[in-house]
């Protein structure tokens, strides 16, 4: 008699992360090894996160994936690398409640179905791939009972999308670029947890939620090939900034934190302009937000808010505390009233949080 079909499922939720010292440029495109260290803050899962359910069943005859309800191809190298790496670490599973027993050797033959949802626009410069691959790797690791810790899993998520490795932890996270040619030491570590600096408030001003024109992958490849500023940045600027940023975070020194965050965002966009052909991720509204924050910070004598922009026009604004966040919102609403014809159309407010 044929065995009764069974299914085992795991659901995970992973927030996205925002870099305060940016990753831009790879030294190895396949393994996704960066040209410099980076540091990020992980957001509250309530606002910008991916929820992924992975399932394995004796009745599945191929690996399949759905993103926001639409089936997508799993044939890309990045998905295949993540699946292969997790399968290689799969262990015996014994689910007494459901009466399911999967031996380590069986995982090679079994297929998975993956359903993933983002609660924010995909590919609009809000780091959707970061949350997506981190969540996928984490959920698969739980499904297959892999014993690796989050840093070891981060080196697998990195092979899906570089910035994904930083979403395996909450709080402030550093992606160490590593030295090994095989990428085994290019992984994420938590610098401090989400409670360490919990007075910070992060506001995302969604300037435009359309998909960006130049993907990060293409953009950073062009920058590595053509930008002299990127070479200078990776070698001379970032190593010093990483040390200073770690110190600012450890001591909760908002003035240094804000100065380093804004400078690094501006240099990343300068590298984009220094790329051939030049890449324009920010737009006029982004520039007006920078002017507004710079003017306010200068008038206060000490910074109240840091700004940073990724591969898109949306502003990530990190306020020193709730009072500064309230004042910032008032200023933004004054400069960009809801009825105006600018693109600025919503604010996402969240505290830092944990995976």
Residue 272 to residue 21: CA distance in whole angstroms: 15
23 binds ligand 2P0 (CB under 6 A): yes
- Contact between 38 and ligand 2P0 by CB under 6 A: the answer reads yes
Q: Rounded to the nearest whole angstrom, what is the least distance from the CB of residue 107 to ligand 2P0 in the complex?
A: 26
Geometric angle at alpha carbon 75, from 70 and 81, rounded to 5°: 115
Least distance between ligand 2P0 and beta carbon 24 (Å):
6
Stretch that binds ligand 2P0, among 97-105, 122-130, 179-187, 205-213 (CB under 6 A): 122-130
In this structure, what token pair is assigned to residue 111? 């297929």
On whether the CB atoms of residues 64 and 121 are closer than 8 A, the answer is no
**Binding residues among 225-284 for ligand 2P0 as defined by CB under 6 A:** none
Q: Which is nearer to ligand 2P0, 17 or 304 (CB)?
A: 17
Q: Shortest gap between Cβ of 62 and ligand 2P0 (angstroms)?
A: 25
Query: Rounded to an integer, what distance in angstroms lies between the CA atom of residue 219 and that of residue 223?
Result: 6
**Local structure of 101: helix, strand or coil:** strand
Kindly state whether residue 194 participates in binding ligand 2P0, applying the rule CB under 6 A: no
Q: Which is nearer to ligand 2P0, 55 or 311 (CB)?
A: 311
Instruction: Judge whether 154 and 188 are in contact, CB under 8 Å.
Output: yes
Asked if residue 310 binds ligand 2P0 (CB under 6 A), the reply is yes
Q: Does 81 contact ligand 2P0 by CB under 6 A?
A: no
Cα 33 from Cα 15, distance rounded (Å): 22
**69: its two tokens:** 């309800």
The count of chain residues that interact with ligand 2P0, using the rule CB under 6 A, is: 16
Q: Which residue is nearest to ligand 2P0 (CB)?
A: 162
Structure-block tokens of residue 197: 């600096």
Question: Which burial class, exposed, middle or buried, applies to 63 when counting CB atoms under 10 A from its CB (0-12, 13-18, 19+)?
Answer: middle
Sites of contact with ligand 2P0 (CB under 6 A): 19, 22-24, 32, 38, 127, 129-130, 161-163, 216-217, 310-311
């Amino acid at each position: 008699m044929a065995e009764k079909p069974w299914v085992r499922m795991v659901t995970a939720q992973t927030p996205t992360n925002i870099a305060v010292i940016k990753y831009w440029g790879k030294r190895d495109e396949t393994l996704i090894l960066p040209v410099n260290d980076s540091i990020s803050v992980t957001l509250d899962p309530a606002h910008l996160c991916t929820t992924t359910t992975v399932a394995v069943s004796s009745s599945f005859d191929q690996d399949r994936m759905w993103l926001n309800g639409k089936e997508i191809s799993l044939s890309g190298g990045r998905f295949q690398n993540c699946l292969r790496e997790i399968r290689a670490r799969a262990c015996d599973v014994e689910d007494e409640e459901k009466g399911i027993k999967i031996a380590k050797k069986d995982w090679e033959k079994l297929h998975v179905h993956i359903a993933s949802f983002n609660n924010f626009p995909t590919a609009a410069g809000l780091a959707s791939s970061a949350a997506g691959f981190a969540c996928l790797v984490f959920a698969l690791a739980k499904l297959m009972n892999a014993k690796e810790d989050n840093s070891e899993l981060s080196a697998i998520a990195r092979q899906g999308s570089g910035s994904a490795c930083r979403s395996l932890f909450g709080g402030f996270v550093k992606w160490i670029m590593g030295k090994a040619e095989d990428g085994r030491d290019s992984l994420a570590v938590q610098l401090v947890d989400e409670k360490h600096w919990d007075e910070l408030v992060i506001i995302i001003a969604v300037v435009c939620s359309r998909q960006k024109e130049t993907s990060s992958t293409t953009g950073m490849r062009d920058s590595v090939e053509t930008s002299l500023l990127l070479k200078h940045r990776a070698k001379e600027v970032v190593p010093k900034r990483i040390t200073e940023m770690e110190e600012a975070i450890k001591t909760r020194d908002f003035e240094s934190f804000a100065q380093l965050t804004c400078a690094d965002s501006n240099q990343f966009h300068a590298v984009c302009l220094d790329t051939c052909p030049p890449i324009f991720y920010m737009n006029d509204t982004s520039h007006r937000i920078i002017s507004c924050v710079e003017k306010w910070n200068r008038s206060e004598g000490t910074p109240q808010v840091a700004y940073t922009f990724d591969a898109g026009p949306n502003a990530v604004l990190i306020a020193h505390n709730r009072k500064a966040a309230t004042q910032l919102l008032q200023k933004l609403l004054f400069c960009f009233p809801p009825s105006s014809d600018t693109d600025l159309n919503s604010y996402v407010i969240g505290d830092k949080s944990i995976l």
